[in-house]
């Protein structure tokens, strides 16, 4: 039994070395995991900010397209209204001109009939 204790005592430095190595390895793994988690959080935050930035760019772009379309539609509607008004004025002038031509023709016919 004494030999067993003697042998155990001889192996204590080796066992301590193995235990220290295991401790250092586990400590390094824990630190690496903590760094990985911190990096993952930072990357996720960066990804969220990037997605928000991209979504804002899309929203601004679409808003500008819609505003441009609205402005174009308003311009077209205004131009059509102005054209309709001008057409109506031309039509009214044509009616007046037609009436004047008719009146002149009637006067001319009346003068031709009188002599």
Domain locations along the chain: 1-84
Please state, in angstroms and rounded to a whole number, the distance separating the CA atoms of residues 55 and 67.
18
* Residue whose token pair is 């023709």: 105
Given a cut of 60, is residue 115 above it in pLDDT? no
pTM over 0.85: no
Q: With bands split at pLDDT 50, 70 and 90, how would you rate the model's confidence at 45?
A: very high
The pLDDT confidence band at residue 100, using thresholds 50, 70 and 90, is confident
The answer to whether the Cα torsion of 66, 69, 75, 80 is positive or negative is negative
Question: What is the structure's pLDDT at 112?
Answer: 73
Q: Name the band, by pLDDT with cuts 50, 70 and 90, for residue 60.
A: very high
The whole-number pLDDT of residue 83 equals: 95
Percent of the chain, pLDDT > 90?
61
Total residues belonging to the chain: 115
More confident residue, 10 or 20: 20
């Amino acid at each position: 039994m004494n030999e067993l204790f003697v042998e155990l005592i001889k192996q204590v430095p080796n066992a301590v070395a193995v235990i220290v190595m295991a401790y250092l390895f586990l400590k390094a793994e824990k630190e690496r995991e903590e760094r990985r988690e911190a990096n993952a959080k930072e990357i996720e935050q960066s990804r969220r900010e990037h997605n928000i930035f991209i979504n804002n760019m899309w929203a601004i772009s679409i808003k500008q397209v819609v505003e441009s379309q609205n402005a174009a539609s308003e311009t077209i509607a205004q131009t059509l209204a102005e054209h309709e008004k001008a057409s109506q004025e031309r039509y009214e002038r044509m009616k007046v001109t037609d009436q004047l031509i008719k009146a002149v023709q009637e006067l001319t016919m009346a003068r031709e009939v009188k002599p």
